[in-house]
Amino acid sequence: MKTDDFIKALAGDEAVERGVIERSTLLGLAGAAVVAGLTFYATLGLRAGLTTHAVAVSTAIKICVTAPLAFFGVVAALRLARPGAPHGLALFLLFTPLAVLLLLLGIDFGLHGLADWRARLFGRTSSVCSALIVALSVLPFAALIHGLKNGASENPRLSGFVAGLAAAGVGATIYALHCPEDSALFMAAWYGAAALAMGVAGALAGRLLRW
């Protein structure tokens, strides 16, 4: 076929799916987060004493790490879905949750040094924490990938990695409402492991984002 003829067919198709990446990704993610949240509420439930001051503060601090991971992760994934768009800043901002976590770790070590580090690291729920966060992240992850397939990432593996981190941010934000641990060391290890696992799974699933 002549390329000029091929162009005629392309030009005859006027339907532009404007905004479809953002719309499908965000709506899908919202739906997935609601389902994951309800499942969480029905099974794990909220942490006891969540309305008391101490518990509320501890939970809010955890969400100060997990919510930015979700937010900046989604922003970066959407940015990466547009070819040629500068995404350096978006990827840089993805370090925000890591910076907050390091700050919390610094404060934790500053206050407690190495005393009881084993108890602080493992708490009582280390055996289930990462797995539960991953379980809560699966549906948001699927929704993100489904939405991002409308995009055109130049680096599907990186996009998948970022989507995995973002999904872990959503799952961890939900889980934080249940998590009975208060140590930053615990959070760095087990929330971190879950985020890393989702990131790696995302990178492996990145081929789904090829176009």
Partner 1 sequence: MGRDEWDDHMRAALAGDEAAYRRLLADLAGACRGAVRRIYARAGRSELDVEDAVQEILLAVHVKRHTWDPALPFAPWAMAVARYKAIDMLRRRGRATHVDIEDFSDALAAPAAAESERGDAERLMERLNPRARAVVHGMSIEGKSAREVGAQLEMSEGAVRVVLHRALKQLAALYRSSDV
88: contact with partner 1 by CB under 8 A: no
Does residue 68 interact with partner 1 by CB under 8 A?
Answer: no
Angle among Cα 33, 35, 37 to the nearest 5 degrees reads: 65
Q: Is residue 81 within the footprint of partner 1 (CB under 8 A)? A: yes
Distance, CA of 37 to CA of 175 (rounded, Å): 9
| Coil, helix or strand at residue 50 | coil
* Per-residue binder mask for partner 1 (CB under 8 A), 25-54, x = binder: ------------------------------
Q: Which of residues 95-114 bind partner 1 (CB under 8 A)?
A: none
Out of 27, 85, 128, 200, which residue is the one contacting partner 1 (CB under 8 A)?
Answer: 85
Residue 69 token pair: 């991971």
Nearest to 37 by CA among 169, 174, 142, 137: 174
Contact by Cβ (8 Å): 144, 204:
no
Determine if 211 is a binding residue for partner 1 (CB under 8 A).
yes
Q: Taking the complex as a whole, how short is the minimal distance between the CB of residue 87 and partner 1, in angstroms?
A: 11
Other residues' Cβ atoms within 10 Å of the Cβ of residue 158? 19
Phi first, then psi: give them for residue 93, nearest 5 degrees.
Answer: -65, -20
Shortest distance (Å) from residue 79 CB to partner 1: 10
* Closer residue to partner 1 in complex, CB, 82/112: 82
* Member of 31, 45, 49, 83 binding partner 1 (CB under 8 A): 83
Region 141-170 residues binding partner 1, contact defined as CB under 8 A: 150-152, 154
In terms of CB distance, is 123 or 147 closer to partner 1?
A: 147
Tokens for 107? Answer: 């404060």
Residue 153 in tokens:
């990432």
Of 10-18, 62-70, 137-145, 185-193, the segment contacting partner 1 by CB under 8 A is 10-18
Q: Please check whether residue 75 is in contact with residue 90, taking contact to mean a CB–CB distance below 8 angstroms.
A: yes
Where do contacts with partner 1 occur on this chain (CB under 8 A)? 1-21, 81-85, 150-152, 154, 210-211
